Amino acid sequence: MRMTTVRAFTPTAILCTLGALLLAGRASAMPHPEVETQSGELRLKLSIIKAQYHAGETVSLAFELSNVGTEPVTMLSFVPGLFGFAAYDAQGNQVAAPILRQKPIARPLPLMAPPLGRILEPGKSIRAELQWELVTTDTLGRRTPLPPGDYTLIGYALWDREGAPRLQTPPLIVRVLAAAP
């Protein structure tokens, strides 16, 4: 006669196991603080230190544009900055935007300056850090912390005559918690 041993699990053991499984699943669903995209020989990476911040804190955005190809890449730009970002709340409202120079409306057109040329050799990268302060500013200049919630961050590499995004990262989710007391 063959005997089978059946072990009974206590409710505590079952709850602990279930809790561990839920936490493991939740941890894998937490936003990852790094995203990247590639187009041709260029790869753009955007990373942040952590996925959660308190309202009013400043997020450091680390950008890296790499030439992963075998030939040098030349980028021409009429604006000095190469990187930018935009952030959106859960309703899709833009709460932060790349700062691009506005063209004057009622002034004569300025003389065109020669473009800034950047050559990125194979295997080399250009890195920069930008700051995103988790506040909003109203029309009177008053600053208030962003409301708690999830915000979508998009990074850009900008170059060409118009300063239009040439590479755009996938969304990076940043969770904003209530301001620290």
DSSP assignment of 57-104, as one string? -EEEEEEEEEE-SSS-EEEEESSS--EEEEEE-TTS-EEE----PPPP
Residue 151 lies in a domain: yes
Q: What is the pLDDT of residue 115?
A: 67
Dig out the tokens for 25 from the structure. Answer: 């699943």
Per-state percent for the chain, helix, strand, coil, to nearest 5: 10, 45, 45
The reply to whether 26 falls in a domain is: no
Whole domain around residue 37: which residue ranges?
33-177
* DSSP state for residue 30 in the 8-state scheme: S
Alpha helix (H) ranges present in the chain?
A: 11-29
Please give the mean pLDDT across all residues of the chain.
76
Based on its alpha-carbon atoms, the radius of gyration of the chain, rounded to whole angstroms, reads 23
Q: What is the CATH number of the domain that holds 128?
A: 2.60.40.10
pLDDT, tens digit, 9 for 90 and up, residues 80-133: 678 889 999 999 999 987 654 444 444 544 555 666 778 889 999 999 999 999
* pLDDT given for residue 81 in this prediction: 77
Determine, yes or no, domain membership for 95.
Answer: yes
Please report whether residue 23 resides in a domain: no
Sorting pLDDT into bands at 50, 70 and 90, what band is 159? confident
Best CA proximity match to 158, nearest among 112, 114, 105, 97: 97
Tell me if 134 is assigned to some domain: yes
pLDDT tens readout for residues 16-39 = 333 333 333 333 344 459 999 999
Q: Does 16 map to a domain?
A: no
pTM: 0.72
Which range has highest mean pLDDT (1-15, 103-117, 120-134, 159-173)? 120-134
Kindly state whether residue 2 falls inside one of the protein's structural domains. Answer: no
Q: How many structural domains compose the chain? A: 1
Q: Is 14 part of any domain?
A: no
Q: Where does residue 68 fall: left (phi above 0), alpha (psi -120 to 50 degrees), or beta otherwise? A: alpha
Phi, psi angle pair for 67, to nearest 5°:
-90, 105
Range of lowest pLDDT (8-12, 127-131, 165-169): 8-12
